[in-house]
Structure 1
Amino acid sequence: MKILAFGTYPTRRPVHGGQRRSAQIGAYYTAKGAEYEYACVYQPRTYSADVVGPNDYPFGAMEGLFAKVPFIDDLASGEFAANRPEVYEHFARLVDTFRPNVVQLEQPFLWPLVRRLLKERKLDDVKIVYSSHNLEAPLKFDLLESAGVSRDLNVQVECQIFDLENELADRADLIISVSKSESDIYRGMNGRQSPIVIRNGADRIGHVSKPIHAEELLREEYMVFVGSAYPPNVDGFCKYVLKYGLYGFPPEKRFAICGGVSEGIYQSGLYAPHQGSYQDRVQFFSQPSDSELSWIRLHAKGFLLPIESGGGSNLKTAEALSSGKWVVTTGKALRSFEDFGSEAGVIVADTPRLFRDAMLEVTYGAPLVLDHSQVAMREGLFWDKLMSESGLLERLSSVVETEMTVR
């Protein structure tokens, strides 16, 4: 089986959740004996030349709606790939050379490219797989609304993305969904669909290296929050963690804030005025390497998931749950992980006051101890187990109707 996947970010060195999910699916296909290639339209201002692959193409500026609205370069990438002659030819040559019998879309945004390839008879007898990471239309609407984009422009963007998702629900031969609830929505769009559900997972801890300033953390006693600069990450932390302040916690480094979210939290109106005191309680790690982040996770007492927006299946939730540590979480963060809501060490808190109480409970309580069955359940969230038990390639083989040996 020959699988060609399209996306809007490179996967050679995965960092954020979308990259990690796409890379893990690709690695699974390869391990199972399929021939797999990945190609994307990427942002050159975000991804340097050393992290992109030979099939990837740099995004260029677009006009109209795409020039007026922030945070929609992913949506623009599809029109860019389909309508810029030199870009379209790049991907068309890849199709002609590789000759896939499956094309997989990671997220819906490059559907205009695939739609044109289908129209021009370059994908005859090729099966289309839609690998959904979220229901993107409402997610993007919430993001743009929080960014102050006018409702008129926001609705235009939402409708364009909804059209992509609806078309894919109608056209895809197989949908990979991240949660049962989203799988049900795709069934509602098209009753013939029976999506396979594969929630997000976590990498096993490999090499660890101690980051600079890690010695300031109170080892085995701090709680971790990891997030990108995505605005809802900052908003969620401010609402659930900072609303009632940190003065009830000892003046010791008991909070490790990691990733691009750091700057937004540091500059927020709920942190900056208290910086003089909060610096005794909080340590920021704005750009930790994977090995440094592994060290921080390994020596933590618990994880914080103050998430109240978004869709799909949160990769940070899988990382927190698989750690075997305390997890203080909103119910929203447990989407597709609802079966962990009543597990030992998982405290669901859906108001800022309850979230603060839960953090205090973890801070002043004992370390979490799990029995064998509880450990096994959490280890079921590691990517290798999730993918090996998914049955994805067997399901895809039945769709393609191709005899092949699955390793």
Structure 2
Amino acid sequence: MKAPRMLWAMPYLPWPTTSGGKLRQFHLLRCLADRGYRITLLVQSKTPLDDEARCTLAPLVERLIVMPRRPLKHPRTLAGVLFSGYPLLVCVNGFAPGLEARFEALLDEPWDIVQIEHSYALEPYIAALARRGQAFVLSEHNLESGLSAATYQRLPALLRPFAHIDQRRYRRWERNALANATEVIALTEGDAASFRAISGRSAHLVVNGADTSATANLAPDHSSQRVLFVGNFEYAPNLEAVAFALDEILPRVWQALPQARFAVCGYQLPAEWAQRWPDPRIEWRGFVADLRTVQRDSSVFLAPLRQGGGSKLKVLEALAAGLPLVSTAQGVSGLGVHDREHYLAGESAEELAAATIDLLQSRDLATRIGAAGRRYVREHHSWEHAANQLEQVHHSLELCA
């Protein structure tokens, strides 16, 4: 069987895996490379390609092409926001003549699969795809028109009117992007239904995953009394979740269990947090390259998310590691897990604190919940399972070509 030739365009380097999106892309890239795909990876990146990323990605691809993304406050971005009618995220990632030219030249080659990650990254490619009549897959990680609300809430009051305008712009762009793709990928059934409602066309499910083999023998440390949170802190819902945890949830936990600790891990950890919350029981870990090192030293994973969308890789990774989970409904969105079986649920600070205390106080409960969560991820969310789903989408694309 001929090895598929794939042109895969991403708006970020998938290494290091400092965000959920990067983690997903790296593992799917790894799985497809293992299956013989001949991949040309075209990346527009705000960070330069360093030796570590080059050495990690080079064995997985035939070609790695990295184009620099202009600075966020570049005049071309501002002009796009003011005059193009496109939403901010599209303007940040679009209007890139060098990238457009490189993509156009690549389309002169024969491809079995062309895949674009994120509707907000589509602008540099959409005209060339239409001119060539090139079939392509659009992989959309979230319902971006809804997700952007969390970011807009952090804007100064004077900019709030622009936020409403920008949301309307994104809904229009999203509808156009989904309608023009040959095949659309969603990460959850809920997002797939939303995409169908927006565009009138079906969407395929390719779930988020976890590296179940890497964490198969990992055992959390119940005696550590350490509560763990992981997130990319360029993402507004993670910022809000930490504030919720430290202002309202952990103080209630500490009333019952003063020895409990709270470890906060993730990329772009705000430096000012150590002054805002100076309690010595808080561990500001920052980006941890191998999460297993902190997962095995933790007792509970807390996901007090109240905003966002899609399924959360941080939660899947915690479940795969056998960590008992306490979460809001938003934290487990898109997952088929059940309260008291795979995790303990809560919405208010009181409920989340009580669930955390229960797991910290009862080794038997923590062990049972952790084992059930690990089984769920192994059965439904391994990266191999996600790669099988992605290959089915590619087969559909080839039938359409």
Which of 180, 196, 202 aligns to 1:194? It is: 202
Map 1:167-186 onto structure 2 (within 5 A): 167-186=176-195
Which of 56, 68, 89 aligns to 1:58? It is: 68
Report the 3-state secondary structure (helix = DSSP H, G, I; strand = E; otherwise coil) of the residue aligned with 1:55: strand
Read off the aligned partner of 1:139 and give its amino acid letter. L
Which of 322, 325, 340 aligns to 2:323? It is: 325
Cα distance in structure 2, aligned partners of 1:317 and 1:194: 27
Cα distance in structure 2, aligned partners of 1:365 and 1:153: 49
Q: What is the TM-score with the length of structure 2 in the denominator?
A: 0.82
Question: Which one is further off, 377-386 or 348-357?
Answer: 377-386
Read off the aligned partner of 1:94 and give its amino acid letter. L
Cα distance in structure 2, aligned partners of 1:402 and 1:174: 9
Q: Name the structure 2 match of 1:379.
A: 378
Cα distance in structure 2, aligned partners of 1:74 and 1:203: 30
Contact kept in structure 1, 2:227 and 2:260, CA below 8 Å: no
Cα distance in structure 2, aligned partners of 1:240 and 1:268: 16
Q: Name the structure 2 match of 1:23.
A: 26
| CA deviation string 1:152-193 (max 9, x = no partner) | 3213332332233211221112111011111111111233x2
Cα distance in structure 1, aligned partners of 2:28 and 2:342: 29
Q: Name the structure 2 match of 1:49.
A: 50
Gap change, CA 1:268 and 1:156, over 3 Å in 2: farther
Cα distance in structure 2, aligned partners of 1:343 and 1:37: 45
Q: Number of paired residues?
A: 372
Q: Name the structure 1 match of 2:116.
A: 105
Cα distance in structure 1, aligned partners of 2:163 and 2:9: 25
Q: Name the structure 1 match of 2:282.
A: 282
Which of 36, 40, 43 aligns to 1:40? It is: 43
Report the 3-state secondary structure (helix = DSSP H, G, I; strand = E; otherwise coil) of the residue aligned with 2:28: helix
Report the 3-state secondary structure (helix = DSSP H, G, I; strand = E; otherwise coil) of the residue aligned with 1:22: helix
Cα distance in structure 2, aligned partners of 1:387 and 1:299: 28
Contact kept in structure 1, 2:188 and 2:205, CA below 8 Å: yes
> Which consecutive unaligned segments of at least 5 residues does structure 1 have?
208-216
| CA deviation string 1:341-392 (max 9, x = no partner) | 23535111011111111122122222523498764323235533432552x3
Report the 3-state secondary structure (helix = DSSP H, G, I; strand = E; otherwise coil) of the residue aligned with 1:103: strand
Gap change, CA 1:305 and 1:59, over 3 Å in 2: same
Q: Does residue 140 of the first structure (1) align with residue 139 of the second (2)?
A: no
* Cα deviation, residue 68, structure 1: 10
Map 1:260-299 onto structure 2 (within 5 A): 260=267, 262-263=269-270, 266-267=273-274, 269=276, 271=277, 275=278, 278-279=279-280, 281-290=281-290, 293-299=291-297
Report the 3-state secondary structure (helix = DSSP H, G, I; strand = E; otherwise coil) of the residue aligned with 1:313: coil
Which of 234, 238, 249 aligns to 1:233? It is: 238
Q: Name the structure 1 match of 2:103.
A: 91
Read off the aligned partner of 1:305 and give its amino acid letter. A
Gap change, CA 1:265 and 1:311, over 3 Å in 2: farther
Gap change, CA 1:325 and 1:265, over 3 Å in 2: farther
Identity, in percent, stands at: 19
| CA deviation string 1:248-297 (max 9, x = no partner) | 1544352221123643682575x2xxx2xx20x2222113222xx21111
Cα distance in structure 1, aligned partners of 2:167 and 2:143: 11
> Which consecutive unaligned segments of at least 5 residues does structure 2 have?
58-63, 82-86, 216-220
Question: Which one is further off, 238-247 or 341-350?
Answer: 238-247
